[in-house]
Structure 1
Amino acid sequence: MLIHVSIEQQLLTIQDGTARQEYAVSTALNGPGEQSGSNCTPRGQHIVRARIGQGAPLGAVFVGRRPTGEIWSPALARQHPDRDWILTRILWLSGCQPGFNRLGRVDSMRRFIYIHGTPDSEPMGVPRSHGCIRMRNTDVTALFDRVSVGCPVFIE
């Protein structure tokens, strides 16, 4: 099993033996980059360090990796206009390349870089995130169900 994310194409591909599935994603508005505080999507070799949200309903809202008990809706979005919506499932990434995307000021895990769901009203195929890899809620659920901790993720 391998997950490949193309920042240029805004596309996540999962390869499982001979089966291949592609999903449109949204990576960072600020483009690629590894520095803490950059709001960029880190490149290179990563692994899925944690899977969060198993069994949560579609649209479940997470803050600090914890479910709030809320389900995203346009009305909830109007109440919290500045929230960076993390919904449904979280695949928390950890960099594998010391000095590039692991440890120090370039540590993807300490930067809280995830593959996660986002409101379906958000565009896919367009860079809009704060560094994470956003997916449609149904897509992130399908991906989550196929992926285990330790799954390799390559971002380029």
Structure 2
Amino acid sequence: MSPVTPRLEALPPEDGVWLEVDVARQVLHVWRGRECLETHPASTAAAGVGQAEGSGGTPLGWHYIRAVIGAGMPSGSVFRGRRPTGELYSPALAADYPERDWILTRIFWLCGLERGLNRGGSVDSQRRYIYLHGTPESEPMGRPASHGCIRLRDATLLRLGELAPSGTPVWLHA
């Protein structure tokens, strides 16, 4: 398997771990150099791709994981405003709060690396609060459904916690 080739000057080191989010295929690949280690289903924005604040789209280009939030928290932990609420997700909790966009288990907060594309001004991914984060099992994978973030299964996030610390490069493309 080979990723769509990013600009050569932007490629991570040969032996480094990096993540690829293929928006067209709705998957996340974990790479070590040029070797694909794992592939996981994902769900990006229902609005498609979009760089601008307020677009509701998933931003493209090179990012890095600015922070990993929730290490040590149990699977299914609920987050609001990047803070654990003390709740664990359940269908009963979802029924009590049907309006919530559930952010579960871990947050991998992304920061753009490309000025004018995903960094700075109205296109800043970090200020847009773009994350890789968990979602309930009832939410679909493999098709766009988020509000801009990249939704993943809890087990995938726990695995990424082992492989992709803060500073890990992440390439989002359509």
Structure 1-normalised TM-score?
0.98
Cα distance in structure 2, aligned partners of 1:144 and 1:74: 25
| Structure 1 residue matching 2:161: 3-state secondary structure | helix
Q: Percent identity?
A: 51
Per the alignment, residue 92 of structure 2 pairs with 75
Match of 1:120 among 137, 143, 162: 137
Cα distance in structure 2, aligned partners of 1:124 and 1:118: 9
Per the alignment, residue 92 of structure 1 pairs with 109
| Structure 1 residue matching 2:110: 3-state secondary structure | strand
Which amino acid in 1 is paired with 2:24?
A: E
Question: Structure 1: which 5+ runs fail to align?
Answer: none
| Structural mapping, 1:125-140, within 5 Å | 125-140=142-157
Cα distance in structure 2, aligned partners of 1:73 and 1:106: 34
Per the alignment, residue 3 of structure 1 pairs with 19
Structure 1 residue runs of 4+, over 4 Å off?
Answer: none
1:79-125 residue CA offsets vs partner (Å, 9 max, x unmatched) = 11111100000100000011110011000000000000100111100
In terms of mean alpha carbon deviation, does 13-22 or 83-92 score higher? 13-22
Aligned length: 156
Per the alignment, residue 20 of structure 1 pairs with 37
1:35 aligns with 2:52: yes
Q: Please say if residues 63 and 110 of structure 2, whose CA atoms lie closer than 8 Å, have aligned partners that are also in contact.
A: yes
Supply the RMSD in Å over aligned alpha carbons. Answer: 0.8
Per the alignment, residue 50 of structure 1 pairs with 67
Q: Please say if residues 29 and 36 of structure 2, whose CA atoms lie closer than 8 Å, have aligned partners that are also in contact.
A: no
Cα distance in structure 2, aligned partners of 1:38 and 1:84: 17
| Structure 1 residue matching 2:118: 3-state secondary structure | coil
1:102 aligns with 2:102: no
1:144 aligns with 2:161: yes
Question: Structure 2: which 5+ runs fail to align?
Answer: 1-16
1:29-67 residue CA offsets vs partner (Å, 9 max, x unmatched) = 000010001110000000000000001111000000000
1:112-156 residue CA offsets vs partner (Å, 9 max, x unmatched) = 000001001111001000000000111111112211111100000
Cα distance in structure 2, aligned partners of 1:34 and 1:144: 26
Residue 16 of structure 1: how far off its partner (Å): 2.0
| Structure 2 residue matching 1:138: 3-state secondary structure | helix
Structure 2-normalised TM-score?
0.88
In terms of mean alpha carbon deviation, does 14-23 or 57-66 score higher? 14-23
